[in-house]
Structure 1
Amino acid sequence: MKAKWHVSKWITLFSVLAGSLAHAEVFEKSGYRVDATVLCDGLPQVQVGTPEGICVGILAGKQDGLKMPRYAVQSKEGVIYVSEMGGWAYAKGTIYAVYRGKDSQGVEKTAIVNLFPTKKLTMPNGLVMDPEGRLYVGTPTGVVRFSPRDAKTGHFNIDVTPEVVVNDFAKSIFRKDEYVSASEYNAMATKFKNKHPLLQMAVNSTFTEMYINVGAPSDDCGSGIKTVDENGKCIQSESPLASAAVWKVNLSNDPQRKVTKVAPFARGLRNSMALAVHPVSGVVIQGENGIDLPNEDLPYEELNILEEGRHYGWPYCHSRGEVAPNFQGKVTPEMCAKQFALPKVFMPAHTAPLGLLYYRNELLPSLKGKLLVAWHGYQKYGQRIVAYPVDERGVPTDTQYQEIVFGWKAQEGVRPRGAPTGLTALNDGSILVLDDKNGAILRISQGKKAEVRPEDLVVGDFSEKTLKAFEPLVPLVKKNCAMCHTQFQKDTGKEMLGEMRGTMLNLSSPSESSFWVKLKTRQMPPEMMRSSLGFHDQEYDQVLSQVEAFIKSLNP
């Protein structure tokens, strides 16, 4: 099926998607309070911290249909393609085409086209584009590709059947049965589901080498299908079809881009969502999301320079040669130091690096030649974008970082807690930022930094009904959740709710709040931490009715 829209005809959609601008100068978009008269390079400016000369604007949000945007790529013609997961669910995702242009009055507006309105994708995540204009999408069962636009007419292709490029890793025991159908996926016990199913990709400058993250099926090789073998080694990391690894795919250097070789490249990597290839040297760099420990300062996250055949230590070691809890007595600190590749840079704990970008453009001179990292984590070191200095090969030269976007914690009436994932350098040199938890597409550009004024703060209270419904949950979350979530370290339930707003609570659709969804599906507390917390499975049944009553109290 072909889309009825051509890029030149998108102008007819602009007034629909920008309706909020027509009715009020000050409005809310994905939890960000913006003023239509205060712009960042043409977009409504959001109030977050930045260095002088740099600002952040919002391009699109939940009001435009976004729910969980992850990564993006821009075509030569200027169309931005965004992977929209739609949630952690089977066949809920899509790819959006996003375009900026001027209406008949010369006003810049945004239009969005859903490329898979009915033939949904399962958890689309990584997104790259080849020189021929085809999109490559990472899904849990493989990398697929398709042409988003008809070469002759320029119309968007809608609900096409993507071509499978590579799915070798999906033949492993950890993935082959999980995504057969929605019924199979829904029926599978949570403890057996892959904990890191999302695929990320990065390619070299000639599009002849593609590197793919195949995340570990568990947090620490302590649960799920097949853990350790008779020698005490983690099967998830050591198997021939490595599931805690970055794989390398060689492609032919011609318009067909045929796959010529597929193999694991580097292993012992828990989840390589932050992945990049230096455009000149070809150096492959990875941001490691460490195991979940009940310590806000450990384990350190990592920046690793990946080399073929090397093992990077998961699940045996973490931080500066420390042995992981599951392998005490089986692995020694000396083994950690000598048998596994060492990180190039240690980053603060629980920052959850999900995006890497070698910035080489001229628009933002203070960032040129640096490596940008999106810290997605919700704990104290997260919610920001930082930059590391690198040499001409793209290898970090210092552990000190520069904060590019900061002060991104939730502030009532101003902004939600930031959750940056993908970073994309656009054709004009600005940087696109995907904010998945808030369903927003942001852009870093040149301009005056935001000033947060006291009069901008709009304090909103929760109803007495909601406060009363949350009160029985306060002891529960203090005991079981405060160790990892700073929201629950507050003294009162009212203060906790203020911190949860815009992050764990979705006030526009309470039933979709992560606080409710993760408890209902028994994802939290993490399985590995329950015994140390004294939390038992039967407690779920006792508290879920209370949590459900609280969620219902949020409905207007």
Structure 2
Amino acid sequence: MTINKLNNIRGLLFTMLLTSVLSCSTPNPKANDVAPTPVKTLNPVSYGFDPVRKEASAPSVYKTVGVCNGLPRVNVKTAPGFCLGLVDNGEGMIKPRYTLAIDATHLLVTDMGSWNANKGKIYLLTFENKKWSRKTLVEATQLPEPQKCILDRPNQAVIGPKNEIYLASARCIATIKPLDKNAAATIQVKIGNLPSEGLHPIKAITFDPDGNIYMNVGSVTDNCELETSDVCQELEGNPARGVIRKYTRLADNSYEQNFEIFAKGQRNSMALAWNELNQTLWTGENARDYIERKDSALNGQEKPSDKMNVVQKGDQLGWPYCYDAGKVSPEFPHANCSQYKQPHLLFPAHSAPLSFLKYNGTLFPAWYKNRLLVTFHGYAHYGHRIVTYKRNDQLEPVGDPLSVVYGWDAQGGQGVGTPVGLTQGLDGSVFITEDNSQKILQLYYNEKEGAGAPVAELKVGTIIQDNSQLAIDFARAEEKRKVVFTAKLTNKELPLFTQIQNKLIDQNCTMCHGGLSYPSLQILKYDDVGNYKKLKDQLWPRLQGQSVPQMPPGGLISTNKDELFNLVKRWVEAGYPAP
């Protein structure tokens, strides 16, 4: 196939219609307005296994029963005395991530908009007449460069030095004055040109008492799994990935752009907090996926654990060479895990801690004061919770997770919980933002309804066979595939593209992009120049292994690759017919 022939492609997009829950990783990269600094590697970097993702098209349906602080009460389990109120049902939002309480009647909400670049929005919620209403505060059409970078997958909204509101996106960190008449005009980029390619483009930040910024810069790959040497090149590249950056605050409240690498060897730490008691950084690290594909003796639902690290300057945390507490990764059998700092705490496998909140309010029972609340976003059994922990003398969490919100797992038609951001309100309540379910919620406590003790309901290490709805859907889809594909693969008279779907897509792409209840990936017509460019510039070279990430990871699963390439060539020459 030639590039000239590919130039004739019009209007085809491989659209994955997914019904699964978002994993703790991030998707394939898109081109950004500002070109990232190239990664210096000895070997080509592949993004490796691309996890199952969900792009929700409509908000999940939440059952509500009764009232929680004047809001509809979501029908999930909570610690006694707590309730979950529905602030915003999510119509019109795509992927909200954080909610920040500006004052008693205003909330700022970030919406990623998509895993694709520059689709984000910023919303303002206002409380009037005993209800919350939402308006769009900032969208891409309002912003020139360089300010537009803040709408490239915006994740976090947080209070920083001088009580300024900071926004963290994939490509930059900026401040905003959301209550000004023209909020878009107040956006000031503090840190720009951040690396945003690879599986983990999204940024999270926190501050120390001097206002210095600590930033997660997640890894390009899942576990550097296609590296051909004993050294993971992306850790050593420019820019280095899988690291925590420190940006020093200057006297004029700007930031030194020449950052330092505060710590390295962390895959993707989306939950960050500073512990003033001993001047350490807490990180909630989302560990690797698919370890069972490299070592079939391991239970991929129980391993590896996600981690809490207590980080000091210069720490080497072990990714990708080691997992859990000093266990050697299958890809790096010669690694010496004793040379790396061990995690402070192991979170349940694939629980996906996406936000830390050190509670300091007075609404909750006194036991919660200075304790850590954590969102378990995860796509697997241990996710879909808000948990807390006992603590030691350094205020660090210890022991097993104790649930504050749970039973949030789509049973009985209830929407599945996908909590991301946690933010404390001025009244001591906690606002929770869900991305896949597109909800803004309020966690409230009423002492008349219970004493508030968190519940020890989560039993780690108990999964033998996953009987969750996710696994049931996978099993049902697999049975459907066995019946449908056997007949299709032997039929030589099917239309050209149907043969491609059966022999190429369904046999090679569903491992990472499987559509659960769908027997195969669905192909939709979409007349869009960006989609045409993606097919021309990315699909063909990735299939041939000439671009990254190679698709599928490791190459085509076929004993006759030439036959598959010839089939694609015939399809191109036939004018790219599609259903």
TM-score, length basis structure 2 = 0.65
Q: Is the 8 A contact 2:123 2:137 kept in 1?
A: yes
1:208 aligns with 2:200: no
Task: Check 1:278–1:99 CA distance in 2 against 1; reply closer, same or farther (3 A cut).
Answer: farther
Deviations along 1:54-105, one digit per CA (max 9) or x if unpaired, are 0111111322x22111123222465221211001112100221222232xxx
User: Which of residues 260, 267, 275 is equivalent to 2:272?
Assistant: 275
Output the amino acid matched with 1:399: G
1:387 aligns with 2:392: no
| CA displacement at 1:362 relative to structure 2 | 1.5
Q: Secondary structure at 2:216's aligned position in 1?
A: strand
User: Which of residues 219, 223, 228 is equivalent to 1:220?
Assistant: 223
Partner in structure 2 of residue 38 of structure 1: 66
Partner in structure 1 of residue 50 of structure 2: none
Task: Check 1:161–1:253 CA distance in 2 against 1; reply closer, same or farther (3 A cut).
Answer: closer
Task: Check 1:32–1:235 CA distance in 2 against 1; reply closer, same or farther (3 A cut).
Answer: same
Deviations along 1:512-539, one digit per CA (max 9) or x if unpaired, are xxxxxxxx9999xx97995699589969
Partner in structure 1 of residue 191 of structure 2: 166
Partner in structure 2 of residue 325 of structure 1: 330
Deviations along 1:442-487, one digit per CA (max 9) or x if unpaired, are 11111459xxxxxxxxxxxxxxxxx999944888899999999999
Task: Check 1:336–1:355 CA distance in 2 against 1; reply closer, same or farther (3 A cut).
Answer: same
User: Which of residues 91, 102, 115 is equivalent to 1:88?
Assistant: 115
Q: Secondary structure at 2:407's aligned position in 1?
A: coil
Partner in structure 1 of residue 425 of structure 2: 426
After superposition, residues 445-456 of structure 1 pair within 5 angstroms as 445-447=444-446, 448=449
User: C-alpha separation between the residues in 2 aligned to 1:116 and 1:100?
Assistant: 22
| CA displacement at 1:383 relative to structure 2 | 1.1
Q: Is the 8 A contact 1:270 1:314 kept in 2?
A: yes
User: Which of residues 122, 131, 139 is equivalent to 1:116?
Assistant: 139
User: Which of residues 198, 202, 224 is equivalent to 1:198?
Assistant: 202
Partner in structure 1 of residue 20 of structure 2: none
Output the amino acid matched with 1:265: F
Partner in structure 2 of residue 141 of structure 1: 171
Partner in structure 1 of residue 435 of structure 2: 436
Q: Is the 8 A contact 1:289 1:302 kept in 2?
A: yes
User: Which of residues 56, 61, 69 is equivalent to 2:84?
Assistant: 56
User: C-alpha separation between the residues in 2 aligned to 1:362 and 1:108?
Assistant: 24
User: C-alpha separation between the residues in 2 aligned to 1:410 and 1:533?
Assistant: 35
User: Which of residues 98, 104, 120 is equivalent to 1:71?
Assistant: 98
Deviations along 1:261-282, one digit per CA (max 9) or x if unpaired, are 6211111010010111135554
1:157 aligns with 2:173: no
Q: Is the 8 A contact 1:296 1:484 kept in 2?
A: no
Q: Is the 8 A contact 2:508 2:552 kept in 1?
A: no
Output the amino acid matched with 1:312: L
User: Which of residues 241, 244, 247 is equivalent to 2:245?
Assistant: 247
Q: Is the 8 A contact 2:94 2:113 kept in 1?
A: yes
Q: Is the 8 A contact 1:100 1:111 kept in 2?
A: no
Q: Secondary structure at 2:315's aligned position in 1?
A: coil
User: C-alpha separation between the residues in 2 aligned to 1:194 and 1:534?
Assistant: 23
User: C-alpha separation between the residues in 1 aligned to 2:312 and 2:115?
Assistant: 31
User: C-alpha separation between the residues in 2 aligned to 1:72 and 1:200?
Assistant: 14
1:307 aligns with 2:312: yes
Output the amino acid matched with 1:138: A
- Taking only aligned residues, the RMSD between alpha carbons, in angstroms, comes to 4.1
User: C-alpha separation between the residues in 1 aligned to 2:394 and 2:477?
Assistant: 58
Partner in structure 1 of residue 416 of structure 2: 417
Deviations along 1:292-345, one digit per CA (max 9) or x if unpaired, are 1231111111110011001100110001322112212x31xxx202x1010011
Partner in structure 2 of residue 367 of structure 1: 368
Deviations along 1:107-154, one digit per CA (max 9) or x if unpaired, are 33333342236236111112222354533222222222233233xxxx
User: C-alpha separation between the residues in 1 aligned to 2:112 and 2:219?
Assistant: 19
Q: Secondary structure at 1:62's aligned position in 2?
A: coil
User: C-alpha separation between the residues in 2 aligned to 1:336 and 1:109?
Assistant: 51
Task: Check 1:239–1:122 CA distance in 2 against 1; reply closer, same or farther (3 A cut).
Answer: same
Q: Secondary structure at 1:276's aligned position in 2?
A: strand
Task: Check 1:424–1:474 CA distance in 2 against 1; reply closer, same or farther (3 A cut).
Answer: farther
TM-score, length basis structure 1 = 0.67
| CA displacement at 1:355 relative to structure 2 | 0.9
Task: Check 1:469–1:213 CA distance in 2 against 1; reply closer, same or farther (3 A cut).
Answer: closer
Q: Secondary structure at 2:421's aligned position in 1?
A: strand
Query: Number of aligned pairs?
Result: 428
Q: Is the 8 A contact 1:251 1:260 kept in 2?
A: no
Q: Secondary structure at 2:442's aligned position in 1?
A: strand
User: C-alpha separation between the residues in 1 aligned to 2:554 and 2:69?
Assistant: 51
Q: Secondary structure at 2:168's aligned position in 1?
A: strand
Task: Check 1:110–1:270 CA distance in 2 against 1; reply closer, same or farther (3 A cut).
Answer: same
Q: Is the 8 A contact 1:419 1:438 kept in 2?
A: yes
| CA displacement at 1:238 relative to structure 2 | 2.8
Partner in structure 2 of residue 22 of structure 1: none
Q: Secondary structure at 1:327's aligned position in 2?
A: coil
User: C-alpha separation between the residues in 2 aligned to 1:475 and 1:304?
Assistant: 47
Q: Is the 8 A contact 1:431 1:443 kept in 2?
A: yes
| CA displacement at 1:207 relative to structure 2 | 5.4
Deviations along 1:239-276, one digit per CA (max 9) or x if unpaired, are 4642111111221466x344486211111010010111
User: C-alpha separation between the residues in 1 aligned to 2:551 and 2:107?
Assistant: 40
User: C-alpha separation between the residues in 1 aligned to 2:153 and 2:483?
Assistant: 33
Q: Which residues of structure 2 form unaligned runs of 5+?
A: 1-57, 293-299, 451-475, 486-504, 527-534, 543-548, 569-578
Task: Check 1:483–1:472 CA distance in 2 against 1; reply closer, same or farther (3 A cut).
Answer: closer
User: C-alpha separation between the residues in 2 aligned to 1:301 and 1:533?
Assistant: 31
Q: Secondary structure at 1:86's aligned position in 2?
A: coil
Output the amino acid matched with 2:187: P
User: C-alpha separation between the residues in 1 aligned to 2:484 and 2:316?
Assistant: 42
Q: Secondary structure at 2:84's aligned position in 1?
A: strand
Q: Secondary structure at 1:418's aligned position in 2?
A: coil
Partner in structure 1 of residue 349 of structure 2: 349
| CA displacement at 1:437 relative to structure 2 | 0.5
User: C-alpha separation between the residues in 1 aligned to 2:558 and 2:403?
Assistant: 38
Q: Is the 8 A contact 1:241 1:264 kept in 2?
A: no
User: C-alpha separation between the residues in 2 aligned to 1:345 and 1:51?
Assistant: 23
Q: Is the 8 A contact 1:283 1:394 kept in 2?
A: no
Deviations along 1:146-196, one digit per CA (max 9) or x if unpaired, are 33233xxxx2513x373331247x3xxxx3xx6xxxxxxxxxxxxxx4110
Partner in structure 2 of residue 402 of structure 1: 402
Task: Check 1:474–1:304 CA distance in 2 against 1; reply closer, same or farther (3 A cut).
Answer: farther
Task: Check 1:131–1:263 CA distance in 2 against 1; reply closer, same or farther (3 A cut).
Answer: closer
Task: Check 1:480–1:301 CA distance in 2 against 1; reply closer, same or farther (3 A cut).
Answer: farther
User: C-alpha separation between the residues in 2 aligned to 1:60 and 1:392?
Assistant: 38
Task: Check 1:113–1:485 CA distance in 2 against 1; reply closer, same or farther (3 A cut).
Answer: closer
Percent identical residues: 30
